[in-house]
Amino acid sequence: MVSAPSPRPPQANTRQAPSANARQASSRQPPPANARQASPANARQAYQAEFGRQPRHVPTDKFFADIDEAMSKQVSAQELRVLALREVQRSRVPATDKIELWIPAPQIARLYGTPEVMHAINRETQSQTWDAAMASLCALDVVKNRGIRVTCTNRDLAIKLGGTVVNCMGQKLIVKPYSAYERYYYVDLTHIPDGLDEDVIYDHFSALGLQPIIAPTHVAGSLMSRDRTVWFPETDVPDALFTDGVPLREIYFAGFDYPVYVQHKKRSLNKVLPPTIAKKRAETGEGCSQCAARHAADA
């Protein structure tokens, strides 16, 4: 008779639980680099750690000394004005001569502020076209999550800058080509019925005393969106687009049961709900967030 094998003794567990010190050290491990870069605060801190915090600009002692001397001599108000505005002389041109250039850069504009972007552009090597235009650039602003807005006071140089590369934060950004007509005001028309003719749209705005210029909102090759953009040869919101101080947000065209929604170039006007959306809100008792979500879906 074969006896059953004796049971094997249990093996000792050689894996040791991490010590308290090891656990504490592990909890202090920094997050992955890509996680740090995803945070605007961390990105700015990293940039400042490498290049220093960008200080506030302070005019030279000589500048302030000149002001003190002028005041002590009791120079004319005009002379004092000229001295006091000397640091911003480049931007002292008529508003009509100031040309806004746009540099799309959503990632950079999400992570960095204006001081870091200005420093990076100044630090990195730029094209001859950009360097030649520096004396005509009077303002630079970072628009959060969107890009970089640059103001130029020379139309010829602004045209030359369009389509050129600007190096910033190790990226090659492209200056959007300048258009003299981009200042025109416009509204986007959405939810346009298939049977609505563009001539009817033209006549509607013409009857308001406006000169409409109608174009597709989006074009890709020979494809056009159904949405339309109506341009007006005015730089501000035309008065005719208001009724008793309320901006135009929808249009009912004859023969159609639902409205065409109007989205303004001036985004603050789009906070006013179209009447049909406001009516739905009143009837259903929706809260602001629900109504906004519904409006976004409808528009």
Task: Report the mean per-residue pLDDT for the chain.
Answer: 86
Closest to 40 (Cα-Cα) out of 122, 130, 134, 110: 110
Angle, nearest 10°, between helix axes 77-84 and 61-72?
Answer: 170
Give 105's pLDDT tier (boundaries 50, 70, 90): very high
Is residue 147 within 8 A of residue 104, CB to CB? The reply is: yes
Helix 275-284 to helix 288-298 angle (10° resolution) is 140
pLDDT of residue 179: 87
SS3 127: coil
Tokens of 193: 């019925």
Q: Provide the percentage of residues in the chain whose pLDDT is more than 70.
A: 83
Structure tokens, 80: 């004092």
Conformational region of residue 162, where left means phi above 0, alpha means psi within -120 to 50, and beta covers everything else: beta
What pLDDT digit, counting tens, does each position of 21-48 carry? Answer: 444 444 444 434 443 445 788 998 999 9
Q: What is the mean pLDDT of residues 104-124?
A: 96
Nearest Cα residue to 102 out of 169, 44, 161, 156: 161
- Of the segments 30-39, 178-187, 223-232, which one has the largest average pLDDT value? 223-232
Confidence at residue 287, expressed as pLDDT on a 0 to 100 scale: 54
pLDDT at 95 over 60: yes
pLDDT band at 286 (very low <50, low <70, confident <90, very high): low
Taking Cα atoms as reference points, which of 163, 118, 160 lies closest to residue 141? 118
- At position 30, the amino acid (one-letter code) is P
pLDDT band (50, 70, 90) for residue 181: confident
Provide, rounded to the nearest whole percent, the portion of the chain with pLDDT above 90.
72
> Which region among 14-23, 167-176, 248-257 has the lowest average model confidence (pLDDT)?
14-23
CA angle 67, 70, 71 (to 5 degrees): 85
Pick the most confident of 5-14, 180-189, 266-275: 266-275
What span, in angstroms and rounded, lies between the C-alpha atoms of 238 and 243? Answer: 11
Mean pLDDT of all residues in 78-85: 94
Q: Is the dihedral of CA 10, 12, 15, 19 positive or negative?
A: positive
Q: How do residues 131-160 score in pLDDT, each as one tens digit? A: 999 999 999 999 999 999 999 999 999 999
Determine the pLDDT at residue 38.
57
What is the pLDDT, as a whole number, of residue 35? 37
Are the beta carbons of 152 and 90 closer than 8 angstroms?
Answer: no
CA 243, chain centre distance (Å): 29
> According to the model, what pLDDT value does residue 284 have?
84
What whole-number distance in Å separates Cα of residue 248 and Cα of residue 233? 18
The per-residue pLDDT for range 239-274, each reduced to its tens digit, is: 999 999 999 999 999 999 999 999 999 999 999 999
Does 15 have pLDDT greater than 70?
A: no
